[in-house]
Structure 1
Amino acid sequence: MKNYTLIVIIMIITFSFSGYGQQAKVNSGDKKYNNYAYVDAIKTYEKVAEKGFKSEEMFKKLGNSYYFNSDFERAAKWYGELFAMNASIEPEYYYRYAQSLKSTGDINKANKLLNEFNEKSKNDHRGKLYKEDVNYLDQIKANSGRYKIEDAGVNSKYSDYGAFVYKDKLYFASARDTGNFSQRKHKWTGEYFTNIYNADLDPESGSATKVNKFRSAINTKFHEASPVFTKDGKTVYFTRNNYINGKKGKNAEKTTLIKIYRASLDTNNKWTNIQELPFNSDNYSVGHPALSPDEKTLYFASDMPGSIGQSDLYKVSINNNDGFGTPENLGTVINTEGKETFPFVTNENEIYFASDGHPGLGGLDVFVANIDDNGTISNIQNVGADVNSPKDDFAYSIDPVSRRGYFSSNKDGGQGSDDIYKFLETRRLKCTQILYGVITDAETGVILPDTRVTLFDSDMSLKKTTISDSSGNYSFAVECGKTYSVRAEKADYNTKELRVTIDKTNGKTNLPIGLDKSICKVTVGDDLGKCFAIKMIYFDLDKSNIRTEAALDLEKILDVLNNYPTMKLDIRSHTDSRATHQYNDALSDRRAKSTIQWLVKNGVAANRLSGKGYGERQLVNRCSDGVQCTEEEHQANRRSEFIITAL
């Protein structure tokens, strides 16, 4: 017994020392993390985690270290460990975990977390945007398939990003300059600092060759990126670490942030007079400049005081004396609590930007919005899955004439951590909307999942069919300004069909549908079609063959006939009063017979069916020849009847 007690004491002491040792390593990792040395922090934290040590704070920082370096798959792993320990944590982690899960392809779990994020952070724009657009994937799908994308031809195994075209040269940032023994790496990413490079460019194909380092005083031993030149080539704006005249600036936490600088081209073709812009600060970042087409406004990203999120988009006027106005936040329509960055403005009053706050595929996605005449932002759309991916996609630029351009991404299949891709936009972005709604029981309000929902155009041509999800939701991507019909069908409910006209601007149209319980008990002489709200069997104009959507209705009649083997039907086809009596008689008779033929072909005995076309001889309203009526009134006369003659 004494020996057993001694062994237990030794084990307790051993585990205690082990625990203290692991905690000491965690503390070491925390110091690296707090100094933004995320790559080094990861190495320390993961060694501790491999020993079985678990800590909510460590898992948060480990997940964050990967998240801030856009390694979302590994971030998802450690956020998963965090949530396994405690699901009641700060709302921001719900958002980061959701974004990370999108990168792994687990969209359903990501959307579930976004719902929880919205509940826990009621005032966060990102949650509201998701809740208002739960069918955002339909919008992305509708906007996809519009690009031909290729490697830009300038990529290395290091980070390459932020392309800008000027005078048949492609300018971009790259971390490929490993330099000599003393060349330093950035602690955040573990990569070398970036400099600006350029490459010769074929203006027709967009292909780049002969990559050269931009030989000028603009490049230093710290980060330079995102150059944008004025049209005359005499001024360049660019992003750089807080570094000028050989000195590195730091904020109160002793961190070197980024600023926008401006340089001028002198008569000897050298870049001189390098100055930081007056609204820079040591205490916040300002970067990624973009010029308006008239070069009177500079757009940029910043987390300056007054920002909504981690970085917002701003604009500032450029005065005639080369001074600047007061920076203006672009507002809550475009900016979220997340990151909005890398703006690019075209002469078509469009602004492209990258965001992880608007609903997307994961990481940063590229979006486009309109800049209205009064300067406000509207109609934000995801550009689609060709450009966007579950990883970071950003720094989009396009020539509005040739529709050629570039974007940067760390998507799978690239050569380095970030790569530059060239593209040709083969189809312009259409004005689209999401038509959506919830299917419910009209009386009780109970949601009705697994309801068949069919979309028809204004001519009743079948466009799409879907099934409502477990929450009764359905959605379709539709074109602006067009009229559609939506039909909802579910067993034990009457079929319902609604007509809707879509607005002429991008957005969403809500069309909830309440279905009535089917309580129809038929007898001889009743119209079986009324039980299923079948107004007519649709045919193409002047034709009598059964269309696809008509077959959907006939399948309901077929099902009843199969369940009641002694039932007999008289099928009657009617038209409106337009066209001649003789024409309408003949056309309606052919349609009645075509309906019978379809049922016989699908197994109904011919002796159970009869039918005739009545043309315009049995109108249900006043709309006879010569009487002016609305289209809806004429429609009431164009009907199909299925009269029960025997049971």
Structure 2
Amino acid sequence: MRTICLLLCLLTASWTLHAQRPSLKKANKLFEQKSYVEAAKMYRALDQSQEVLQNLADSYYYNSEMKMARTPYNGLFTKYKDSLNQEVYFRYAQALRGAKDYEKADEIMGEYLGYVVDTKKFKENLSRIIPFNYETNLMNQSSRTGDFGIAYYGDKVVFSSFRNRENPVYSWNNQPYLDLYKADVSKDNKLINIQPFSAEINTKTHESNATFTSDGKTMYFSRTNENRVQIGEELVATVKLYKAELKDTLWTNITELPFNSDLYSTQHPVLNHDNTRLYFSSDMPGSLGSFDIFYVDIIDHYEGYVETSYSQPINTGRTINTKHREQFPFVGEDETLYFASDGHQGMGGLDIFMSKIFDGMYSKPLNLGETINTEMDDFGYVLNEEKNMGYFASNRAGYDNLYAFERKENKRQFTVEGDVRDKITKNILPGTTVTLYDENDMVVGQMVVGGDARYVFNTEPNKTYVLEGHRDFYIPTSESFTTNDDGKITFNIELSIESYDDAEDIVVTKDDGYIYIELENIYFDFGKYEIKPQAARTLDVLVDLLNKYPRMEIQLGAHTDNRSSDLYNLALSHNRAAATLEYMVENGIERKRLRSKGYGERLPLVDCGKDCSEEEHSINRRCEFIIMK
């Protein structure tokens, strides 16, 4: 009997050991089920193939464990970079940002985006242009409560949390399912008197992100489906939006909104100030990225009772939404949209942005800056504009937590900056003069750009400016722009200027380094210098060119053959060049833009000495037009 028991124990131990033994198949199954914590444990014990490294890194990434994700991503890029999907570059760069390795993060993000990323300069620029700086403080005594999604609820707040340890555990992060809680906020901005929000609202699945009408009698919130559905190759429990009504002290009439679906998620609802529009985030068809910001108009019908309907969901558009995540909208009293995004340039993870509306159009989103945003996820911003105070969530301490903030006005510097480049070659052009004109065509700034060809000028809000680049042998180029007070107060304008040589077929740079205007030769009667009709037609082409480019300056050079004395030919060529100049002046060209010079016989094109043919004499007897500026 003892032997049998011992055998059974050994078999049980063997079976348990076998059941827990890591395998790629089991790890992948956990990963597909989004059980990222358990999947990561198993991947760590496996050989580091490309698949293992990527899934291990992604398991950490999807749970916002960026410092943990950095190492397997680094191994992945060291061994398998050439075979990686481009989106892995994005996740690796975000993991590096989460570990504050901004130099490497900028390198990888630059490869992903196809242009240079400079986070240090981005932060410096933001510090000049953000409208507010933020002072923040943690609202909980503990930093491990998993709180986020806060909303105003009368003189209280309502928020989401996994603090109910009696709830089932969510395999994604091995934490309890989310419930809604209500609380008071103390004078020092701490959450006190915390209680579950409502037994009618909280269920065994996730509830989060409530928003309330002004009278407090209607709420909208997010709730996760209890059952998963097959979407492509994945089993997914989508998130839906619900509406509830307060009757006496109970929340009743809990109904799904009509634009929900089992095939996509709708979440993070927020009402605008007058309760006529509901904003939310979704990955529904028509989304530009993984999640976009949408809204529906709320239409109340009164026929003895109130019946509410909703417009079709409307995407807020490409100015707001990117191919990545835009979530957690909040709308201010002036309809300014605040939201979280990891698709716009930021510090790392989700950052909080703002976008004002002008003439029905959203302005370019402005990152709220590093006094509120960090290398980790910062999101769920709500604001009391009258008090310049509010709340937001962040996982900067390792878990989602709520923070209170006070915002203080930042003295902003409105600027325009950029560089100057050749329009064709795209090479930078040091030494270019850049001039800034105001709306009255008055010069308000001018500089000659240095070795990096960059310029910067201070501007003022709500004004129109013209920026001009000018350089010798180039066509002056101008760009107009209008500043406003919507956050787009640093303009990056690349001035592309084109050389005369590239713009005009008759302008040619020759081997001697000079830039010539090639026209038909001008002929004079023997020994004379009067402008003949045929020569006038040629010079009229030159007049048109100088009128087209008002800053062009040229030298008119006359040459003779060698059939008279050197002194005679020098005087003759001088007179011919001067006559050409006078013709140009008579036809409206300013004298200061013209120079004339007679070379006589001293610079022949054909050096034939005393044995020149008539054709060779003709070639040497010429007028040349050289661009000086």
TM-score range, shorter chain: 0.5 to 0.7
- RMSD over aligned CA atoms reads 4.1
2:159 alignment partner in structure 1: 172
Does the CA contact (< 8 Å) of 1:206 and 1:404 recur in 2? no
Does the CA contact (< 8 Å) of 1:240 and 1:258 recur in 2? yes
Amino acid at match of 2:75: E
Give the alignment of 1:388-537 within 5 angstroms.
388-411=373-396, 414=397, 417-427=399-409, 435-438=416-419, 446-447=427-428, 479-481=460-462, 503-505=482-484, 506=486, 507=488, 508-510=491-493, 512=495
Distance change >3 Å, CA 483–CA 133, structure 1 → 2: farther
1:606 alignment partner in structure 2: none
1:365 and 2:316 aligned: no
Does the CA contact (< 8 Å) of 1:292 and 1:298 recur in 2? yes
1:96 alignment partner in structure 2: 91
Distance change >3 Å, CA 460–CA 262, structure 1 → 2: same
Distance change >3 Å, CA 476–CA 340, structure 1 → 2: farther
SS of 1:319's partner is strand
Match of 2:146 among 159, 165, 171: 159
Displacement after TM superposition at 1:91 (Å): 1.2
Distance change >3 Å, CA 300–CA 443, structure 1 → 2: closer
Tell me, in whole angstroms, the C-alpha distance in 2 between the residues paired with 1:444 and 1:327.
Answer: 46
Displacement after TM superposition at 1:405 (Å): 0.4
Does the CA contact (< 8 Å) of 1:372 and 1:378 recur in 2? yes
Displacement after TM superposition at 1:476 (Å): 7.5
Distance change >3 Å, CA 284–CA 453, structure 1 → 2: farther
1:27 and 2:25 aligned: yes
Displacement after TM superposition at 1:250 (Å): 3.3
Match of 1:192 among 176, 186, 192: 176
Amino acid at match of 1:170: V
2:235 alignment partner in structure 1: 254
Displacement after TM superposition at 1:44 (Å): 0.6
Does the CA contact (< 8 Å) of 1:142 and 1:384 recur in 2? no
Tell me, in whole angstroms, the C-alpha distance in 2 between the residues paired with 1:465 and 1:39.
Answer: 57
How many residues are paired up? 462
Match of 1:377 among 362, 373, 389: 362
Q: In terms of mean alpha carbon deviation, does 308-317 or 92-101 score higher?
A: 92-101
Superposed CA offset, 1:43-82 (max 9, x none): 111122xxxx221122221121111111222222221111
Superposed CA offset, 1:377-400 (max 9, x none): 213100111110110000001011
TM-score (norm 1): 0.63
Distance change >3 Å, CA 295–CA 487, structure 1 → 2: closer
Displacement after TM superposition at 1:479 (Å): 4.9
Displacement after TM superposition at 1:184 (Å): 2.1
More strand by share: 2
2:290 alignment partner in structure 1: 310
Match of 2:57 among 40, 59, 63: 63
SS of 1:36's partner is coil
Tell me, in whole angstroms, the C-alpha distance in 2 between the residues paired with 1:38 and 1:317.
Answer: 37
Tell me, in whole angstroms, the C-alpha distance in 2 between the residues paired with 1:441 and 1:31.
Answer: 55
Does the CA contact (< 8 Å) of 1:297 and 1:315 recur in 2? yes
Does the CA contact (< 8 Å) of 1:197 and 1:212 recur in 2? yes
Amino acid at match of 2:405: F
Residue segments in structure 1 that go unaligned for 5+ positions in a row: 1-20, 120-126, 517-647
SS of 2:327's partner is strand
Does the CA contact (< 8 Å) of 1:143 and 1:384 recur in 2? no
SS of 2:81's partner is coil
Superposed CA offset, 1:602-639 (max 9, x none): xxxxxxxxxxxxxxxxxxxxxxxxxxxxxxxxxxxxxx
SS of 2:74's partner is helix
Displacement after TM superposition at 1:118 (Å): 2.6
1:233 alignment partner in structure 2: 216
1:72 and 2:66 aligned: yes
1:593 alignment partner in structure 2: none
Tell me, in whole angstroms, the C-alpha distance in 2 between the residues paired with 1:377 and 1:339.
Answer: 18
Tell me, in whole angstroms, the C-alpha distance in 1 between the residues paired with 2:143 and 2:123.
Answer: 32
Greater C-alpha Rg: 2
1:575 alignment partner in structure 2: none
TM-score (norm 2): 0.65
Match of 1:84 among 78, 95, 103: 78
Amino acid at match of 1:209: I
Displacement after TM superposition at 1:354 (Å): 0.2
Match of 1:110 among 105, 110, 113: 105
Distance change >3 Å, CA 434–CA 380, structure 1 → 2: farther
Give the alignment of 1:262-277 within 5 angstroms.
262-267=243-248, 269-277=249-257
Does the CA contact (< 8 Å) of 2:416 and 2:457 recur in 1? yes
Does the CA contact (< 8 Å) of 1:436 and 1:474 recur in 2? yes
Does the CA contact (< 8 Å) of 1:301 and 1:312 recur in 2? yes
Q: In terms of mean alpha carbon deviation, does 353-362 or 149-158 score higher?
A: 149-158
Displacement after TM superposition at 1:339 (Å): 0.3
2:310 alignment partner in structure 1: 324
Q: Aligned residues: percent identity?
A: 33
Tell me, in whole angstroms, the C-alpha distance in 2 between the residues paired with 1:323 and 1:142.
Answer: 44
Tell me, in whole angstroms, the C-alpha distance in 2 between the residues paired with 1:224 and 1:213.
Answer: 11
Tell me, in whole angstroms, the C-alpha distance in 2 between the residues paired with 1:236 and 1:305.
Answer: 26
